[in-house]
Amino acid sequence: MVVDKEDLIRSEVVQGAKKLYEKGLCDNNEGNISIRNGRKEELFITPTANQYDTLTKDQISHVDFEGSLISKGKLPSSEIKLHIAIYNARPKVRCVVHTHSPFATTLSIARKNIPIIMEEQIVYLGGSIDLAPYAEAHTEDIGLTALKSLGDKNATLLSNHGVLSCGKSVIDAIKFAELVEKLAKMYWGALQIGEPHIFKKENLEKFYDMYNRLFANYPRKKTK
Ligand SMILES: [Zn+2]
């Protein structure tokens, strides 16, 4: 039997999307997940007006880096430009996740970063989770501002909007989105009862080394 690789990626997008929905990170009609199509300048992404509970692989949009549909599927998520900006700047990234998860979005509305409050945050995400300045949804700008605040890390907050995470695998990108929400919840909670203790970057080199070895996906060699 010939294995259709693109069909497998469609199934991975569906499984990833349903995971985001089951974990409460995305509701119907919001958030999105995409997977790069190998080395091609193409991706598979959840469709616009996505209904996670009834999503099938035939609904997944197959688009090029211009945002145009290539094969079967519904119209792509209106946040397609955000995903393309990440794939263009981060060749190692295989999966991009965007959510409006409630605690992280709450912090983005209060215009707060999540400082370093746990060691695992460095290992998986690369440190503090910084807030991108406000940019209108569905525009090129939101991709550019997200990339800037992402820096060398794996997740960022989008002002008055939500979360963006990216990883070398689908499992990673989903885990990172989930961790951002968990950290946002804990930071929010700590703010309610006192002054959160924030780690300083010094003396945490061991965790940055682990990040660079295991989960970092930024380009190490700067291209011209
Ligand atoms: Zn959004």
Per DSSP, the residues of the chain read: ----HHHHHHHHHHHHHHHHHHTTS--TTS-EEEEE-TTSSEEEEPBTT--GGG--GGGSEEEETTS-B-SSS-PBPTTHHHHHHHHHH-TT--EEEEE--HHHHHHHHTT--B----HHHHHHH-S-BPEEPP--TTSHHHHHHHHHHHTTSSEEEETTTEEEEEESSHHHHHHHHHHHHHHHHHHHHHHHHS------STT-HHHHHHHHHHT--S-SSPP-
| The token pair that represents 99 in the structure block | 């959510």
Report the distance separating Cα 21 and Cα 32, nearest Å. Answer: 10
CA of 82 to the centre of ligand 1 (A): 9
Given this model, what pLDDT does residue 198 score?
96
CA of 209 to the centre of ligand 1 (A): 32
CA of 51 to the centre of ligand 1 (A): 15
User: Residue 65: pLDDT above 50?
Assistant: yes
| The token pair that represents 124 in the structure block | 């998986």
CB 156 within 8 A of CB 150: yes
Report the distance separating Cα 60 and Cα 63, nearest Å. Answer: 10
CB 184 within 8 A of CB 172: no
CA of 100 to the centre of ligand 1 (A): 6
Could you report the per-residue pLDDT of 22-57, keeping only the tens digit for each? 999 999 999 999 999 999 999 999 999 999 999 999
Q: How many Cα atoms are found within 13 Å in the side-chain-facing hemisphere of 216?
A: 16
CA of 29 to the centre of ligand 1 (A): 10
CA of 108 to the centre of ligand 1 (A): 12
pTM of the model: 0.96
Range in 1-5, 167-171, 193-197 the model is least confident about: 1-5
CA of 222 to the centre of ligand 1 (A): 30
CA of 219 to the centre of ligand 1 (A): 25
Q: How many Cα atoms are found within 13 Å in the side-chain-facing hemisphere of 58?
A: 1
Could you report the per-residue pLDDT of 123-162, keeping only the tens digit for each? 999 999 999 999 998 888 999 999 999 999 999 999 999 9
Given this model, what pLDDT does residue 220 score?
86
Superfamily of domain 5-214: Class II aldolase/adducin N-terminal domain (3.40.225.10)
Domain boundaries defined on the chain: 5-214
> For residue 143, what are the β-bridge partners?
none
Which of 123, 89, 112, 74 is CA-nearest to residue 191? 112
Given this model, what pLDDT does residue 203 score?
87
CA of 207 to the centre of ligand 1 (A): 30
CA of 101 to the centre of ligand 1 (A): 10
Confidence of residue 2 (pLDDT cuts 50, 70, 90): low
CA of 137 to the centre of ligand 1 (A): 7
CA of 116 to the centre of ligand 1 (A): 25
CA of 139 to the centre of ligand 1 (A): 11
CA of 151 to the centre of ligand 1 (A): 20
User: Residue 1: pLDDT above 70?
Assistant: no
